[in-house]
Structure 1
Amino acid sequence: MSAPSTDIAILGGGLSGGLIALALAARRPELRVTLFEAGTRCGGDHVWSYFASDLGDGAELLEPLVAARWDGYFVRFPRRQRALRTAYRSVTSERLDAVLRSTLPAEALLTGAMVTEVTRNAVTLADGRIFSAHAVIDARGAAGLPHMAGGWQKFAGQMLRLKVPHGLTHPIVMDASVAQADGYRFVYALPFTSDAVFVEDTYYSDVPELDLPVLRQRIAAYAAAQDWRVEAIEYEETGVLPVVGAGDFDAFWKAGREPGVARAGARAGLLHPLTSYSLPIALRLAVHLCTLDKLSGDAVEEACHAWAREHWRQGRFYRMLTAMLFGAAAPDQRYKVLERFYGLSEPLIERFYAGQSSPADMLRILAGKPPVPLGAAIASLRGKGRPLAPLGNLR
């Protein structure tokens, strides 16, 4: 019996793999796409958020995935509070899984599919099945980022069901008025409904270890301080993400390369070096892959490699800021960097999060009295952080 075949095999039904599958289904319907996900559903248990200003072509692909949307957001710091007008959106794993199931043919979405071997033209599963493919894209995340250095953004988040409405009209994207601990700490609060709020306790830390019991206690304390009476915790997520300050891209790519197998998402280093945002970057790659004339394994691998290399080149400024944040500021004083940043113009802030800062933006961010000692800022560029491998909890 011949092996089942597909044009494009996508490994990993998380954000990056899911968006590639949805983009190909919408824009290249003539192609047979098969998505392999090791879990019981796609996306795991996550909330991914983005600013509407992050997006360009392909924004319509995200619309069915959006679980909540707001026309602005708040930030809070010890000496600054600000309301910004940029539209903000959140995507949930539940919506991603549902849209993939409704969009792809049943035989094109395989959950519980543990991949044991990959070549440029074949995928082997733990149950012995072998699928042939014209091209394979590996989007299964990463166990680390070898040959890169920086710090960590780690967090625990809970969806809280409240006994009475919380009163929030817009999300609090960054509340750094909380006590600082383990680096730069802030709380993130998304009001999904009038009595449900997603609260995430986040740290820009020098170490990747996450003390979940402590973070749970701090989330409970934050909710109590807002006078939110919690009826139930509906779900919980955790994560430890790399914040990249330096690295050797060519060595990184070579270390994880399987000839003829393309890479996407964190496996390709496709995340914002300082914020760890990945959704807009994942969408851009998904849209780009739809424009390729040739979709052989080698051609798709070459396209993903070129895309990731250009992303690395364009991230130089953000890596420098990462190195300065971790190397120049005392851990409990890092909030001052972001406090100052949020005093800048709203269009500049939008371009920063989109990873599209102009030369003038870069000069403005660096101009004026620095919130960290100048000598320490210069010295920090020599060290540039801790190695970012291995790591087992990237999302």
Structure 2
Amino acid sequence: MEAGHTDIAILGGGLAGGLIALALAERRPGLRLAVIEREARLGGNHLWSFFASDLADGGAALVEPLIAARWDAGYDVRFPAFSRTLATPYCSITSAKLDAVLRERLPGGAIVQGEVAAVEPGRVTLADGRTLRAGAVIDARGAARLPHLVGGWQKFVGQMVRTAAPHGLVRPVVMDASVAQADGYRFVYALPFSADTVFIEDTYYSDGPQLDPGALRGRIGEWAAAQGWQVAEVLSEETGVLPVVAGGDFAAWRATMEAGSHGGVALAGVRAGLFQPLTSYSLPDAVRFALMVAGLPDLSGTGLAAASRAWAERHWRAGAFYRILAAMLLGAAPPGARWRVMQRFYRLSPGLIERFYAGGSTMMDKARILAGKPPVPLGAALKVIAGRVPLGSLGGGA
């Protein structure tokens, strides 16, 4: 059953796919677009946050309509030995806001709900038998596992809660690592959305992907109680298990992601490896990639596939330093002492911290991060750098 023809079909209406669609709709308004999403709501059930310093002017303008909350007073971090307030503004995008803006700004009929059954250059087949012909296909459906890569996992449960009385939190707590450590490096993250509404996330840098939502819900409640808050209602919840990449065979992984399309389909988002290897932080890369796509002179299927492959290869090469840091965190630091790595990092200059999260660390930044007495055993650190410490596989299927 023929479902029509479009210039560009974007598979997946999450952050990466949504930003590409938004950039193309704004900068190439003559194009016919189709965003294929299996769920009723674009963006699923997620919250994406970022520092204002992550985005250049073009990226900031693209993201501005999606921002659901902004904190211009900066943010706090807490560690066993010290706490600190940094002045960098912080922002969040919600799934509901992403869905609303895309439905408002994309042409009528551009959003197609359906499960993708098969993908090939120029053609997408849905599970219900519909087929869509496209001049180009961009696959932004994410990847639950990353075969041929090694590292660990960042996993979390986050809850938007309403407190019985005003909570009094005036700015985000981006990292509270003063909490009891468990299952690797643990910290709590909190965003005050209103006087009595706060998003609380319990997060772990762990060797394995196993998640115990019940245990994490209990710890969220304990953390809220420790702040003097009574949770009156849980408004929503999200869970996640994200890859922390410390190394691997990028070419083999890319070939696995492209299997079935013979390299003729462009990849985007996590499926293309476009995230910061240590933090699993994807928004800055998703914005940069969307702007790159919107500015391409050749938006044919082969042109897009070639451009996305070259972009991902450059990103992999540029991420070598962050993969070394991930390997040191996971391979050289004992699980219960990994917090020391981040405690030391957050004593560094605000500019260095900003560039780190944006994925733009300078050579001077890298030297400063590695200089001095390491917060991990020196022998273990040297073994990691020499590649003699085995790390866990991120494979198990795409």
Mapping for residues 30-45 of structure 1, pairs under 5 Å: 30-45=30-45
Counterpart in 1 of 2:304? 300
Taking the TM superposition and a 5 Å limit, the aligned residue runs for 1:314-325 are 314-325=318-329
| Aligned partners of 1:323 and 1:384 also within 8 Å | no
Asked whether the 8 Å contact 1:118–1:124 carries over to 2, the reply is yes
Q: Output the CA distance in 1 between the equivalents of 2:350 and 2:157.
A: 28
The 5 A counterparts of 1:241-390 are 241-257=242-258, 258-259=261-262, 260-381=264-385, 382=387, 383=389, 385-390=391-396
- TM-score with structure 2 setting the length: 0.97
Matched, 1:125 2:126: yes
Q: Residue 42 of structure 1 aligns to which amino acid in structure 2? A: L
Give the aligned residue type for 2:35: L
Cα deviation 1:233-253 (Å, max 9, x = unaligned) = 000000000000001111111
Number of the residue aligned with 1:88: 90
Q: Superposed, which structure 2 residues align to 1:41-56 within 5 Å? A: 41-56=41-56
1:328–1:380 contact (8 Å) kept in structure 2: yes
Pairs aligned (count): 391
Deviation of residue 106 (structure 1)?
2.7
The amino acid that maps onto 1:52 is A
Deviation at 1:2, TM superposition (A): 6.1
Q: Does structure 1 retain, via aligned residues, the 8 Å contact 2:150–2:391?
A: yes
Q: For 1:145, what is the secondary structure of its paired residue?
A: coil
- Separation in 1, partners of 2:55, 2:329: 26
Equivalent pair of 2:147/2:397 in contact (CA under 8 Å)? no
TM-superposed CA distance for 1:45, in Å, is 0.5
> Take 1:3 and 1:102, find their aligned partners in 2: how far apart are those partners?
22
Letter of the 2:87 counterpart: R
Is 1:190 matched up with 2:201?
no
Structure 2 distance, partners of 1:287, 1:343, is 33
Counterpart residue type for residue 217 of structure 2: R
TM-score relative to the length of structure 1: 0.97
Any conservation in 1 of the 2:2–2:131 contact (CA below 8 Å)? no
When structure 1 is superposed on structure 2, of 32-41 and 53-62 the one drifting more is 53-62
Deviations 1:184-242 (A, max 9, x none): 00000000111000000000001100011100100010011111111100000000000
Q: Distance in 2 between matches of 1:221 and 1:81?
A: 20
Partner of 1:29: 29
Per-residue deviation, 1:294: 1.1
Larger CA deviation: 2-11 vs 362-371? 2-11
Native 8 Å contact 2:2 2:130 kept in 1: no
* Identical-residue share of aligned pairs (%): 61
Q: CA deviation at 1:357?
A: 0.4
Amino acid at match of 1:293: P
d(CA) in 1 for partners of 2:130, 2:327: 46
Instruction: From the superposition, tell whether residues 276 and 13 of structure 1 become closer, same or farther in structure 2 (CA, over 3 Å).
Output: same
Residue 47 of structure 2 contacts residue 94 of structure 2 at CA under 8 Å; is this kept in 1? yes
Partner of 1:14: 14
What is the root-mean-square deviation of aligned Cα atoms in Å? Answer: 1.1
* 8 Å contact from structure 1 (residues 245, 384) kept in 2: no
Moved more, 185-194 or 101-110: 101-110
Q: In structure 2, what is the equivalent of residue 101 of structure 1?
A: 103
Letter in 1 for 2:170: T
The one-letter amino acid paired with 2:382 is: I
Task: Go from structure 1 to structure 2 and tell me whether the alpha carbon gap of 1:126 and 1:190 turns closer, same or farther (over 3 Å shift).
Answer: same
CA distance in 1, matches of 2:115, 2:69: 32
Residue type at the aligned position of 1:340? R
Residues 150 and 384, structure 1, Cα contact 8 Å, conserved in 2? no
User: Kindly tell me: are residues 3 and 230 of structure 1, through their superposed partners in 2, closer, same or farther at Cα, counting changes over 3 Å?
Assistant: closer
Give the structure 2 partner of residue 136 of structure 1: 137
